[in-house]
């Protein structure tokens, strides 16, 4: 199994973002359409990651902030625990692994809870509004739900990776 190079990962993410932007521009041109096709929203009006967070309700903002803090704390716990591996500090390492397991097991359910809360509130709102709003009105709520789910998966993934790497280092030091 090959190790994933950080530079390769960053380059892959950059290519994916650039490809997505290029596809959006191509879709906007819509060759052969009766009208001019799709029109991209001006940059000042575009929905951004920060805009999704800022427009979220306080409850969802708390969930999103907890998930970001969980992912970052996993990295901090992992980084602080690595020097202790060869020193035989079993109690500190057990505590670090326990904290990483908490993040690992709690991130995805918390993200799913945030996403389901946003979707539920949106569906209740849809049921109570006539005429039914367009997808452009609904998209920010869906983006908010997707962000909550994505951050939950991110926190869980970071927790799992840090935990597994730390466990492997402990096993390697014990051998």
Q: Identify the CA nearest to 174 among candidates 166, 101, 76.
A: 166
pLDDT, tens digit, 9 for 90 and up, residues 135-169:
888 889 999 999 999 999 999 999 999 999 989 88
Whole-number pLDDT of residue 1: 40
What's the CA angle centered on 135, arms 140 and 132, to 5 degrees? 115
Lowest mean pLDDT among 5-9, 61-65, 85-89, 124-128: 5-9
Write phi, then psi, for 8 (nearest 5 degrees): -65, -40
State CA 101 to chain mean position distance: 18
Whole-number pLDDT of residue 106: 93
Whole-number pLDDT of residue 39: 79
Kindly indicate the confidence band of residue 107, based on its pLDDT and cuts at 50, 70 and 90: very high
Q: How many Cα atoms within 13 Å fall on the side-chain side of residue 47? A: 14
The answer to whether residue 82 scores a pLDDT higher than 70 is yes
pTM of the model: 0.73
Kindly indicate the confidence band of residue 6, based on its pLDDT and cuts at 50, 70 and 90: low
Q: Identify the CA nearest to 56 among candidates 148, 150, 155, 151.
A: 148
Whole-number pLDDT of residue 12: 59
Angle between the N-to-C axes of helices 135-174 and 58-81, in degrees from 0 to 180, rounded to the nearest 10:
20
């Amino acid at each position: 199994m090959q190790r994933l190079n950080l530079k390769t990962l960053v380059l892959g993410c950059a290519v994916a973002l650039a490809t997505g932007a290029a596809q959006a521009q191509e879709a906007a041109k819509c060759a052969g359409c009766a009208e001019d096709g799709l029109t991209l929203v001006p940059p000042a009006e575009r929905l951004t990651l920060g805009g999704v967070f800022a427009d979220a309700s306080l409850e969802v903002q708390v969930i999103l902030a907890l998930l970001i803090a969980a992912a970052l704390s996993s990295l901090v716990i992992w980084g602080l625990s690595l020097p202790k591996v060869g020193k035989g500090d079993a109690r500190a390492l057990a505590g670090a692994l326990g904290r990483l397991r908490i993040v690992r097991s709690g991130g995805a359910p918390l993200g799913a809870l945030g996403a389901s809360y946003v979707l539920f509130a949106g569906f209740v709102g849809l049921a109570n509004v006539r005429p039914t709003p367009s997808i452009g009105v609904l998209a920010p709520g869906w983006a908010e739900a997707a962000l909550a789910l994505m951050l939950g998966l991110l926190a869980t993934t970071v927790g799992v990776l840090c935990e597994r790497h730390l466990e492997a280092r402990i096993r390697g030091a014990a051998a």
